[in-house]
Amino acid sequence: MPPADAGGALVSSLPGVGPALGEALRKLGLERVQDLWFHLPLRYEDRTRLTPIGDLRIGETAQVDGVVETVERGFRFRPQLRVTIRDGSQATLTLRFFHFNRSQAEQFVPGTRFVCFGEVRYGQAGPEIVHPAYRRVVGDIVTLEDRLTPVYPTTEGLGQKRLAAVVQRALDRLPSDAELELVPAPLRESLHLASLREALLAVHRPEPGDDVAALALGRHPAQQRLAFEELLTHHLGLKRLRAQVRRHRAPALLGDGRLRVALRDGLPFALTQAQARVAAEIERDLGSASPMLRLVQGDVGSGKTVVAALAALAAVECGWQAALVAPTELLAEQHWRNFDAWMRPLGIEPVWLSGKVQGRAREKARASVAGGAPIVIGTHALIQEGVEFHRLGLAIIDEQHRFGVHQRLTLSEKGRDGDIVPHQLVLTATPIPRTLAMTAYADLDVSVIDELPPGRTPVQTVAISDARRGAVIERIRAACAEGRQAYWVCTLIEESEQLEAQAAEVAFAELTAALPELRIGLVHGRLKAKEKQAAMEAFKAGETRLLVATTVIEVGVDVPNASLMVIENAERLGLAQLHQLRGRVGRGRAASSCVLLYRNPLSQMARARLEVMRETGDGFRIAEKDLELRGPGELLGTRQTGQLQFRVADLARDAHLLPDVQRIGETLLREYPGLAQKLMARWIGAAARYVDA
């Protein structure tokens, strides 16, 4: 029988968890046994059966059993290993490796038998699997798994098998339902929720007869039980956060308006009515001694940056500092360039501070910030220790979903002076329906810029099968010959920078060979910051005509001459992300196009998403459609360790749970505050302390 507080024990108390493994688990935020209970699978792999090679379908994952026929090592663009296997159906499959060592290559000897698992894709010689999971078969009998295999979020140096084994050892310590439940019985029974213990065991150890389709879609009753508790925790955390911040005071930023008037007079365009309305809402908040907590939603290109600049000037007029933080170097630098162009004529020189600013330049920037520089722009570097503000009155966070709530609070804390805290303005270009915004950002007031500036060119969107890839490449050749530029975006369903980089490198090699007359750039997450920056600068300057990139370019890249975008494997992305990517073109006067390159067979959901993209460019209509379709993916963006993230819940899919989440959340905060705190500790772990900051 597990001890009463089995979940509170450190992971080091589990058998086989030494210092090295403990450190790897800590990187994932897994410090206590209960953190492992709630470290939920991203997805499941079906290794319970074998598929004949002749029956393989492109785009599906499958497990095959075959004998090695040929082994070939090539070095056309970079080393690669190609292994051909054949099974009893007399069909062949190619296994392709780009990252391998000699001992791996030597395992594949003609005549040896292997079981391989992975996603099937088109290859030059028929179906192929890139970097499959594989094991050699010894003897005549192939042993298969007896249940679905969970795939967990992990970190470098911690393999799936090792992590799964630790999770299983933690599950052996699961206490009884009575000890595990934190939602009081009367509230729980009104919802007919499954037992939490049963739900945890079901998602970590699916039974052989479990509904595979329901698990894949996140609609299994066990997943819904956990999604409810996770959404409830998220709601509680944000409500408590708002209450905590509201206890403080903020500087009343009632300036004379001269800098704001000068900025508006100097702009080469007039603000839209929506921009003016939102700017006025922010101005009202800033003039109050109660801290502003406002989210500004605006579609791609709606002009959020100008609104943020006006807010920053309101702080500067009163002798306070404003800081703007963006999640990537690209986006932060884009903001800095815009602010610099607008502010210098007003006698203000924005300070730039990011991870790549080093040495004397970094020391100078930090000294300027500490000395009272009016406007500071940068990346996460602004949140780090060693950066001190003189008098921070306004913290602006761009693309909130890329940051954790606790990171936003950390920046706010830097401006705290006794009981005075800075105002907070949060920007996002991810339009989500208002009902969901109120849940996802329960600690914030919401403003919407629902109007695009005049002059934005509508982007014509077409969906084209991968079978017509050659025609798409010719379209790029023609566009670049006319002096225009293009993006080729590579996407992968795996949350892995290494695999995404590999996909981009493969596409880069293919396009370099197909378009030898063009200078082509490459950007992906595993490049060093300097290499990434150089590639982007070359594209902005027009030196490279085609940029091959991963979704790293989703936000913040502004190249008006780029009028064509190709999104590879578009069927794998959610509507919000497709819309974000498409927003990178249509920024100049030339007619712009977006090609959604998809692979057959298309699921009904994927077909519906591509259809929506062809029909409309309105981000808010797309967001509503996303909710209606309840498509996969988080409307708020990618999962990131250490933030108030969703491990199992999906706001679009689980919208039906939100009314009960809000109702029970209010009751818990009012009548059971101790249980609310325990729920936050369970789901948010080490980040829970920030909720009480």
pLDDT of residue 690: 37
pLDDT of residue 641: 28
- Residues contacting residue 644 through CB under 8 Å, at least 6 positions apart: 234, 237, 238, 404, 405, 406, 684, 687
588: β partners: none
pLDDT of residue 495: 43
The model's confidence at residue 8, banded by pLDDT at 50, 70 and 90, is confident
The model's confidence at residue 383, banded by pLDDT at 50, 70 and 90, is confident
CA distances from 618 to 122, 436, 458, 624, 672 (A): 34, 18, 10, 10, 43
Give the separation between CA 387 and CA 528, rounded to whole angstroms. Answer: 23
Q: In a 10 Å sphere around its CB, with 0-12 CB exposed, 13-18 middle and 19+ buried, how is residue 576 labelled?
A: buried
Asked whether residue 531 carries a pLDDT value surpassing 60, the answer given is yes
Q: Identify which has the larger pLDDT, 194 or 364.
A: 364
Is residue 314 within 8 Å of 284, Cβ to Cβ?
A: no
Per DSSP (E only), the strands in 572-617 are 592-598
Structural domain boundaries of the chain?
A: 49-144, 250-449, 459-616
pLDDT of residue 530: 78
81: β partners: 73, 97
| Greatest pairwise CA separation for the chain in angstroms | 84
Give the separation between CA 445 and CA 629, rounded to whole angstroms. Answer: 27
- Examine domains 250-449 and 459-616 and report if their fold is the same: yes
Distance from the Cα of residue 226 to its chain's centroid: 21
Asked whether residue 83 carries a pLDDT value surpassing 80, the answer given is yes
| Amino acid letter, 544 | T
Give the separation between CA 432 and CA 623, rounded to whole angstroms. Answer: 5
Cα radius of gyration rounded to whole Å, the chain: 26
Give the separation between CA 561 and CA 589, rounded to whole angstroms. Answer: 8
Helices (H), 588-657: 604-615, 619-629
Give SS3 for 545: coil
pLDDT of residue 635: 34
Asked whether residue 172 carries a pLDDT value surpassing 70, the answer given is yes
pLDDT, one tens digit per residue, over 15-42 is: 999 999 999 999 888 989 988 998 988 8
The model's confidence at residue 554, banded by pLDDT at 50, 70 and 90, is low
Q: Mean pLDDT, the chain, as a whole number?
A: 84
Give SS3 for 566: strand
Give the separation between CA 608 and CA 214, rounded to whole angstroms. Answer: 20
Pairing of strands 546-549, 293-298: unpaired
CA angle 425, 649, 503 (to 5 degrees): 85
pLDDT > 90 in the chain, percent: 38
CATH domain 250-449 topology: Rossmann fold (3.40.50)
pLDDT, one tens digit per residue, over 484-514 is: 999 999 876 444 455 555 678 889 999 999 9
Stretch (H or E) spanning 92: strand 92-97
The model's confidence at residue 689, banded by pLDDT at 50, 70 and 90, is very low
Cβ count near 17 (within 10 Å):
20
pLDDT, one tens digit per residue, over 587-605 is: 777 889 999 999 888 888 8
pLDDT, one tens digit per residue, over 307-343 is: 999 999 999 999 999 999 988 777 788 789 889 999 9
- Four-way CATH pick for 459-616: 1.10.645.10, 3.40.50.300, 3.30.360.10, 3.40.50.2300: 3.40.50.300
pLDDT, one tens digit per residue, over 412-459 is: 788 788 889 999 998 887 666 665 666 666 767 888 888 877 767 778
Reported as half-sphere exposure (CB side, CA atoms, 13 A), residue 126 has a value of: 13
548: β partners: 488, 522
pLDDT of residue 685: 59
- Four-way CATH pick for 49-144: 2.40.50.140, 3.90.850.10, 3.20.20.140, 1.40.20.10: 2.40.50.140
Buried-state track 75-108, b at ≥16 Cβ within 10 A, e below 16: eeeeebbbbbbebeeebbbbbbbeeeeeeeeeeb
DSSP codes, 125-191: TEEEEES-EEEE--SSPPP--SSPEEE----TT--HHHHHHHHHHHHTT---HHHH--S-HHHHHTT
Q: pTM value?
A: 0.59
The model's confidence at residue 639, banded by pLDDT at 50, 70 and 90, is very low
